[in-house]
Structure 1
Amino acid sequence: MSAVWIERLDDMLARGEEVFLAATHGIVATLVIAAVFFRYVINDPLIWSEEFIVIVFTWMIFIGLSSGFRLRMHLRVDALLVVLPERVRAVCGLIAVAATMITLVGLIWFGFSLTMTMLHSPTPMMRISSAWAVSAVPVGAILSCIHILRHAVSDGLGQTLWTPDLIGDPDGDA
């Protein structure tokens, strides 16, 4: 019963991430087409479009990072996991989760620090705060931590970063 709140929070954030990623994909695709059209057909380029696309793409990358943790889709070397006993796999899982969380906490700290530094630095074309682009780093890292915590609470540390079906049947029938 204690895991219910984090599962609900994680599910709500996941739905928001999916909507955000779908919308931003559409925005970027539309804006790239519009920028090409304006530059080469109308001969009047949208001077702000490249900067806006880079900012939106930055957000897509870090929200996609988070979504990758939710879906357990990040790259991993799992050849050893298949042959290791369950107890050793659990230790490997603990080490992997600890290293990942330390890295993400570092990204949160660094990203927040950089966001505060860039707060009063405007972008060249749109003249908005550069913090809008940089703030994607801590937001994506925080969302990633929440997804990892949900998997750790739901599935245990031994299977937080990989799906249970990766290893196969515990009796040896894969």
Structure 2
Amino acid sequence: MKTLSNGISIIEKSLAVVLMFSMAVIVTMAVFFRYFLNSPLSWAGEVSIFLLVWISFIGGSLGLKYKSQASVTILVEYVSLSVKRILLIIGHLLMLMFLIFILYYSYKWVLSPSVGFQKSSAILLPMWIPFSAVPIGLTFATVHLLANLLDILREGDAK
């Protein structure tokens, strides 16, 4: 599971770099065209929003991979190692249950006919493409969370 998580994170990092660079270029072009050429790009706002959504879900997944998400750790800092391990396992299991619940409905939503035939307003992009950020990002996050949970469980076996 760790190798799968590491492989996904390489893909996510590469994709995040490309998406962020693309978004920076598009926003810069939009500003240039609007204020210097007086000819705004009608599609730039829509595309930058779609890119931001994809970056957010990929970044959230990477945050779970590297355990860099925001958290309140005051309780965990003042308990023994065995209680800390139990709390971490419970937290990971709760997050996994939540992700599986959301994954089910996000795949159901993206694969629904209403999304399949919907198009964006400016560039007429099929909306399943930007909406796919949700199930794909959450699938990657689930893999990372499972790998982290297995690491926690293995640490206990090693002690």
| TM-score over 0.5 (shorter chain) | yes
What is the DSSP-based 3-state SS (H/G/I as helix, E as strand, rest coil) of the residue aligned with 2:70? coil
Native 8 Å contact 1:120 1:129 kept in 2 = yes
What is the DSSP-based 3-state SS (H/G/I as helix, E as strand, rest coil) of the residue aligned with 2:111? helix
Number of residues of Structure 1 aligned to a counterpart in Structure 2: 154
Partner residue, 2:137:
140
What is the DSSP-based 3-state SS (H/G/I as helix, E as strand, rest coil) of the residue aligned with 1:156? helix
Q: Any idea what the Cα deviations from partners look like across 1:23-65, whole Å, max 9, x if unmatched?
A: 1111111110000111111111111111111111100000001
With over 3 angstroms needed to count, the CA separation of the structure-2 counterparts of 1:39 and 1:157, relative to structure 1, is farther
Cα distance in 1 for residues equivalent to 2:20 and 2:97: 30
TM-score, normalised with respect to structure 1 = 0.83
CA RMSD of aligned residues (A): 1.6
Partner residue, 2:82:
87
Partner residue, 1:57:
52
Partner residue, 2:147:
150
What is the DSSP-based 3-state SS (H/G/I as helix, E as strand, rest coil) of the residue aligned with 1:111? helix
- TM-superposed CA distance for 1:110, in Å, is 2.1
- RCO greater where, 1 or 2, for CA within 8 Å and sep 6 or more? 2
Partner residue, 2:4:
9
TM-score, normalised with respect to structure 2 = 0.90
With over 3 angstroms needed to count, the CA separation of the structure-2 counterparts of 1:65 and 1:158, relative to structure 1, is farther
- Quote the sequence identity (%): 21
Cα distance in 2 for residues equivalent to 1:26 and 1:126: 20
Q: Of 32, 40, 48, which aligns to 1:37?
A: 32
Native 8 Å contact 1:47 1:125 kept in 2 = yes
Cα distance in 1 for residues equivalent to 2:137 and 2:116: 18
Cα distance in 1 for residues equivalent to 2:76 and 2:70: 14
With over 3 angstroms needed to count, the CA separation of the structure-2 counterparts of 1:157 and 1:65, relative to structure 1, is farther
Q: Which runs of 4+ in 1 moved over 3 A?
A: none
More helix by share: 2
Gaps of 5+ in 1: 1-5, 160-174
Gaps of 5+ in 2: none
